[in-house]
Structure 1
């Protein structure tokens, strides 16, 4: 499932977070599927429970997962997100404007990624 590279430049919580996002994106983790407990995943990966808890918290804030108390943490169906329709419209408008400007798709993705990650916003 997930692997943590202790020699990576990225901290373990980011590796856990990004690894879970990748598993959701490729369908390995389906909507409604329960994630391992924080302690269980931490033990499996050989990292601190707080590291996994931070990754889960960020995933919940991003709308990738939802915690249902003692029942656990579950993958959220992206189609059910309240922001989905507005986000798709914004992405369509962005793509249309980039096409008008003649911006190559790869550059557009890079610009969008940088804008999303920008802390100024």
Structure 2
């Protein structure tokens, strides 16, 4: 937790609002593993003081992170990195499950399904659907 303020940079000349810079910094810290699931975050006041921003700036970043499931507030016990895992990964996993179910329903084979995903990720059209 003591290294967290160094991991977050709030640039007053940035076109991004300060709360968004704090939010993005926390997301990056969670994604990189600098903050781990269940780890306690500094209080709003403490992080605001460490970053040299208003407490409302950090409070807004925390609210948005909580709404997206990245952090969770446990009342008087404080704010923690969510133990439910990375929300983006969870959403991707749900999408993959739905895709796999659709592929089974269409009776396509695994290799073709994976080729379709790879083409979609590259932004390319599937050879089958190309005009």
TM-score (norm 1): 0.72
Supply the RMSD in Å over aligned alpha carbons: 2.8
> What is residue 88 of structure 1 aligned with on the other side?
93
The 3 A distance-change label for structure 1 pair 106 and 26 is: farther
Query: What residue in structure 2 maps to residue 69 of structure 1?
Result: 75
Q: What is the aligned counterpart of 1:60 among 57, 61, 66?
A: 66
Give the equivalent residue in structure 2 for 1:22: 28
Q: TM-score when scaled to structure 2?
A: 0.67
Instruction: Report 1:102-121 matches (<5 A).
Output: 102-103=119-120, 105=121, 107=123
1:32 counterpart (7, 32, 38): 38
Q: 1:97 to 1:39 in 2, by over 3 A?
A: same
Moved over 4 A (4+): none
Cα distance change on mapping 1:98 and 1:35 into 2, 3 Å: farther
What secondary structure, in the 3-state scheme, does the structure 1 residue paired with 2:11 have? coil
In our comparison, the structure showing a higher alpha carbon Rg is 2
**Which segments of 5 or more consecutive residues in structure 1 lack a partner in the other structure?**
109-121
